[in-house]
Structure 1
Amino acid sequence: MKKTKYILNAFVAFAFALLFTQCNQKNDSSATTTAPAVAGTNMKIAYVEVDSLLTKYRYWNDLNEEMIKKEENIRTTLNEKAKELDGEMREFQRKIENNGFASRERAEQENARLLQKQRDLQQLQEKLYAELQAENQKNSLQLRDSINSFLKVYNQSKGYSLIISNTQLDNLLFADKSLDITQEIVEGLNARYNPAPKK
């Protein structure tokens, strides 16, 4: 175990030393590139702040706004139906307390009808939210496809070997701001986006 630890420590120390010495060497070819190359390679790397991209990308904002409206409509529909059912159940309870049904069978029929209506409402809720979730997933795939297809075209002229996504320090703990291409990507995506006319 100790031997493995020493080997790992030596490897890490060697990697840092190599990285430090290569960063200090002046390389004329790196001066002509727009992004720094990884030490010892010709790899160009950049990153995109995903949170900033999503807040500024009009396509995503339009999709998000549409989904919020759909969710509000679902909530309104379900609340109206629940309020109606609640009123009917209170009326049923009032009739029970005041012997308002002609027979016990009639009260049982009304109770069964209200229970079925309650089950129907629950099924409607599950159905509507499942449809909303499926549409959310579809939108996420469309967003990813939109960004990926743009990056393929964008990178033909830029020549990056690797473009990394970063979400609030999710994977990327530190990066030089000169590697951040978020604004370029947002501008390119928004220039390419043609929103559908609003109804």
Structure 2
Amino acid sequence: MKRMKHILNGFIALAMVLMFTQCTDNKANEQGASTPAVVGGPVNMKIAYVEIDSLLTKYRYWNDLNEMMIQKEENIRTTLNEKAKDLDKEMREFQRKLENNGFASRERAEQENLRISQKQRDLQQLQEKLTSELQAENQKISLQLRDSINSFLKIYNKDKGYSLIISNTGFDNLLYADPAFNITQEIVDGLNARYNPASSKK
């Protein structure tokens, strides 16, 4: 399955390179020839790309979401560390009392051992619960980010009229593109202009 995905990505990348090459050739010939940008595709495709890494670095909404998630992760880590320290202290105290015959009876020692074991299980369950909640929150904000960008692009493209806007992340899909097709800064400026931190927290 992974191999098929890589092959598909390779074909997409190759198609995009050919598309850009043919588009620039048409422009250089002052659009004298009527060769389509893609075989069987539209004659005059208007194409642009957005550098996703750069967009995320500069998009204030994403930076705010990212800070919020870092803070939540830090709070979870602090909570779990504190509980783990308390548990470790109780375990060491139990071991000390056990070695020094500090329990009134064997039954009392077994009860304390069961209590600490249950506390270990509770801590593990809490860790799993908080980790799961954090992952769900991460997925939620990823969807919010995608929806935010997509909804803006629909509005933005009403005036611009691009046939295709490609996302570029390293070498995932786009191997080469003329910087003239790069609209990243325009998108960042537009997204930031309509971002209102106060309303997003409601």
Deviation of 1:38 after TM superposition, in Å, equals 3.5
Please state if 1:187 is matched with 2:189: yes
Please state if 1:54 is matched with 2:53: no
- Distance, in Å, in 2 between the alignment partners of 1:124 and 1:176 is 51
2:37 aligned residue: 38
2:172 aligned residue: 170
Equivalent residue runs for 1:4-43 within 5 Å: 19=22, 22=26, 24-27=28-31, 38=37, 41-43=43-45
Please state if 1:81 is matched with 2:83: yes
Instruction: Let me know the Cα RMSD of the aligned residues.
Output: 2.5
Residue type at the aligned position of 2:172: D
- Distance, in Å, in 1 between the alignment partners of 2:112 and 2:98 is 10
Residue type at the aligned position of 2:37: V
CA deviation map 1:157-181 (0-9, x unaligned): 0000000001112110000000000
2:140 aligned residue: 138
Please state if 1:118 is matched with 2:117: no
Q: Sort the Cα spacing of 1:129 and 1:143 in 2 relative to 1 into closer, same or farther, 3 A.
A: same
CA deviation map 1:72-113 (0-9, x unaligned): 000000000000000000000000000101111110100000
- Distance, in Å, in 2 between the alignment partners of 1:63 and 1:45 is 30
- Distance, in Å, in 2 between the alignment partners of 1:23 and 1:153 is 27
Could you say what secondary structure the match of 1:196 adopts?
helix
Could you say what secondary structure the match of 1:102 adopts?
coil
Ranges in structure 1 where 5+ consecutive residues have no aligned partner? 1-14, 29-36
- Distance, in Å, in 1 between the alignment partners of 2:28 and 2:192 is 39
Is the Cα contact below 8 Å between 1:101 and 1:107 reproduced in 2?
yes
Deviation of 1:41 after TM superposition, in Å, equals 1.4
- Distance, in Å, in 2 between the alignment partners of 1:56 and 1:136 is 19
Percent identical pairs in the alignment equals 76
2:5 aligned residue: none
- Distance, in Å, in 2 between the alignment partners of 1:194 and 1:45 is 29
Residue type at the aligned position of 1:146: S
Q: Sort the Cα spacing of 1:181 and 1:68 in 2 relative to 1 into closer, same or farther, 3 A.
A: same
Could you say what secondary structure the match of 1:163 adopts?
strand
Larger Rg: 1
Equivalent residue runs for 1:144-163 within 5 Å: 144-163=146-165
Q: TM-score, normalised by structure 1?
A: 0.82
Q: How many residues align?
A: 177
Q: TM-score, normalised by structure 2?
A: 0.81
1:91 aligned residue: 93
